[in-house]
A and B are shown apart, each in its own frame.
Chain A
Amino acid sequence: MQKNKTLLYLILSIVSLALFIGIWYYFTAVLQIVSPKTLPSPVKVFTTFIDKFTNPNPDGATLLVHALSSLKITLTGYLTAIVIGVPLGIAMAWYPKVDLYVRPIFDLLKPIPGVAWVPLMIIMLGIGFASKVTVIFISAIVPVLLNSYSGIKQTRDVHIWVARTFGASDWQMLTRIAIPTSLPYVMTGIRVALGAAWTTIVAAELIASTEGLGFMIQQSRGIYRPDIIIVGMVTIGIIGSVLGLLLMLIESVLVKGRSKV
């Protein structure tokens, strides 16, 4: 009975997806009620997707070149944010002095969305690589730092007391107890930051850029090529998902390694 239901739901899902694409196709390609300048047919989007792998027109680069450009900026800013944000967050939580004096600055930065930094960085650093990396860095470091911070704060007093009775040094307590405890929170921060970084790069490229996926879809709007816009959106979605999956894989390896010990 249970198996039959699972099968029924699978069929429902497939029918629903087919219907979604079918209606889209029917209105755009068969009835042609919707102008291709507003919404191209799914077939057109698909052929554009294939074509964009090799065709640099009309926006100056192929899909892969745009994607790599966006990825390069995102990963540079994002990884820098992790390298600086995780230790800083841990230090803030572990050493009260650091906490008292550094945390207020980050509480101030927290409510400012990453996009809002774009114009200021353009004025200061120009339209190129540096300004975008800085924007990504700012938008990624806030969640990384704040989550690492709350992770360390989760350390149970009991564990600290036990360690102390065994004569553990402060450093040993930090590395053996507090940091392993904080790991799930640190990973959450890293995951949230990835989303923030990826969203922000798209926004930054929409606003001012000469390449990248955000630039590609913004250019295509100006020349009424919604097929390229949709291809770009789908690519942004796919890359976002793949990066998220990679992170989940790393996380499961890390957590597994921990439970074996």
Chain B
Amino acid sequence: MIDNTRRSRKHGARAAVISIFVFLLIWQAATTFTSLGILMPSPLISLSAFFKSFIVPIGPYPIFIHIYWSLVRVVPFYIVGAIAGIILGITMGWYKPVAAIFRPIFEILRPIPPIAWIPIAIVWFGIGEGSKWFLIFLAAFMNVTINSFAGARSTDPVLVGCSKMLGASDWQIFTTVVLPGSVPYIFAGLQVALSSSWATIVAAEMIRSSEGVGWIIISSQETNNSVNTLVGVVAIGIVGFILAVIMREVEAVLVKWTKRDI
């Protein structure tokens, strides 16, 4: 039932290709032979439109420029939010007075999804880039803080005792035990934060912008262009996937010690 041999993996890849092919085939048949074709573009049309969009612009730009715009909005403020989140989360998790001061406010804001901040962000920072930066910062900050906090909280007390015994000062315990011990949690947070930031920018661009992947799908919807809407959805999925893979690779390089050789 549960096996991970190389043969079964190869088998899996073949099945995946077959499965996706069959899925596309059913979709193609459904749109060609039934009335679903009126509502929904066929996969052939959608895929050719997707590849065409690299040369023929959608609105002002070809698709990769739209993706570039969305990424330029996300990446810098994602990093800023993540760094702030790591600092606050870890210190809150380790130093009880810091938790006592910041945690109540944080817990009030935490259940509000970043997307729900869009209207007030526009009120505060205008419809331009400022509000988007704020939203991305928030999405990254919230998720990373929660996970870093959990990471610092889960510090192994035996390791702390061990460090004390070996002569480490409180600050050394913080930097050599609490911080590295939280790294797997921090990465879990960074991963969640990345998909949350990506969803938030898509939503924000749908509400107010003149370029970006979110803009593609909303402006296509406004003109009832279901083909380009689908092209936008595919682009959002692919970029989201690539971002998650990059994050996983970064983690694999930085957190070597969780891998087992034996």
Check A124/B199 contact, CB under 8 A, given A16-B104, A119-B217.
Answer: no
Shortest A215–chain B CB gap in Å is: 10
Residues in chain B within 8 A of chain A (CB atoms): 1-2, 11-12, 15-16, 18-20, 22-23, 39-40, 96-97, 99-105, 108-120, 122-124, 195, 198-199, 202-203, 206-207, 214, 217-218, 220-221, 224, 226, 229-230, 232-233, 236-238, 240-241, 244
Shortest A22–chain B CB gap in Å is: 12
Tell me which residues across on chain A come within 8 A of B206, comparing CB atoms.
Answer: 115, 118-119, 207
A249 on interface, CB distance cutoff 8 Å: no
CA of A17 to CA of B103, assembled, Å: 9
Task: Choose among B16, B22, B112 the residue that contacts A237 (Cβ–Cβ < 8 A).
Answer: B112
CA of A38 to CA of B241, assembled, Å: 37
Shortest A219–chain B CB gap in Å is: 9
Contact with B along A106-135 (1 / 0, CB 8 A): 011111111111111011100000000000
Tell me which residues across on chain B come within 8 A of A218, comparing CB atoms.
Answer: 118-119, 207
Task: Choose among A8, A17, A116, A236 the residue that contacts B232 (Cβ–Cβ < 8 A).
Answer: A116
A111 touches B15 (CB 8 A): no
A111 touches B116 (CB 8 A): no
Shortest A188–chain B CB gap in Å is: 13
Check A199/B100 contact, CB under 8 A, given A101-B19, A112-B240.
Answer: no
A105 touches B198 (CB 8 A): no
B108 touches A237 (CB 8 A): yes
Using CB atoms, name the residue of chain A closest to B192: A192
A13 on interface, CB distance cutoff 8 Å: yes
CA of A221 to CA of B238, assembled, Å: 32
Contact with B along A232-243 (1 / 0, CB 8 A): 111011101100
For the residues of A in contact with B, the DSSP-based class is helix
A20 on interface, CB distance cutoff 8 Å: yes
Q: Which residues from 191 to 209 on chain A have a C-beta closer than 8 Å to any C-beta of chain B? A: 195, 198-199, 202-203, 206-207
24 A-B contacts (beta carbon < 8 Å):
A13-B101, A13-B103, A38-B124, A100-B19, A101-B19, A101-B22, A112-B237, A115-B203, A115-B206, A116-B199, A116-B214, A116-B217, A119-B217, A120-B226, A123-B39, A123-B221, A153-B2, A203-B203, A206-B119, A217-B116, A220-B119, A229-B123, A230-B120, A236-B113
Tell me which residues across on chain B come within 8 A of A53, comparing CB atoms.
Answer: none
Interface size of A by CB at 8 A reads: 66
Q: Which 3 A-B pairs have the closest CB atoms?
A: A113-B199, A119-B221, A111-B240
Tell me which residues across on chain A come within 8 A of B99, comparing CB atoms.
Answer: 9
Using CB atoms, name the residue of chain B closest to A104: B16
Tell me which residues across on chain B come within 8 A of A117, comparing CB atoms.
Answer: 233
CA of A39 to CA of B121, assembled, Å: 11
CA of A37 to CA of B220, assembled, Å: 33
B12 touches A100 (CB 8 A): yes
Shortest A214–chain B CB gap in Å is: 7
A160 on interface, CB distance cutoff 8 Å: yes
CA of A16 to CA of B113, assembled, Å: 23
A167 on interface, CB distance cutoff 8 Å: no
Tell me which residues across on chain B come within 8 A of A257, comparing CB atoms.
Answer: none
Using CB atoms, name the residue of chain B closest to A214: B116
A105 touches B229 (CB 8 A): no
Shortest A171–chain B CB gap in Å is: 13
Task: Choose among B2, B103, B199, B238 the residue that contacts A114 (Cβ–Cβ < 8 A).
Answer: B199
B221 touches A199 (CB 8 A): no
Check A120/B229 contact, CB under 8 A, given A16-B100, A105-B23, A115-B199.
Answer: yes
A30 on interface, CB distance cutoff 8 Å: no
B122 touches A221 (CB 8 A): yes
Tell me which residues across on chain B come within 8 A of A202, comparing CB atoms.
Answer: 113, 115-116
Shortest B105–chain A CB gap in Å is: 5
Using CB atoms, name the residue of chain A closest to B15: A100
Using CB atoms, name the residue of chain B closest to A221: B119
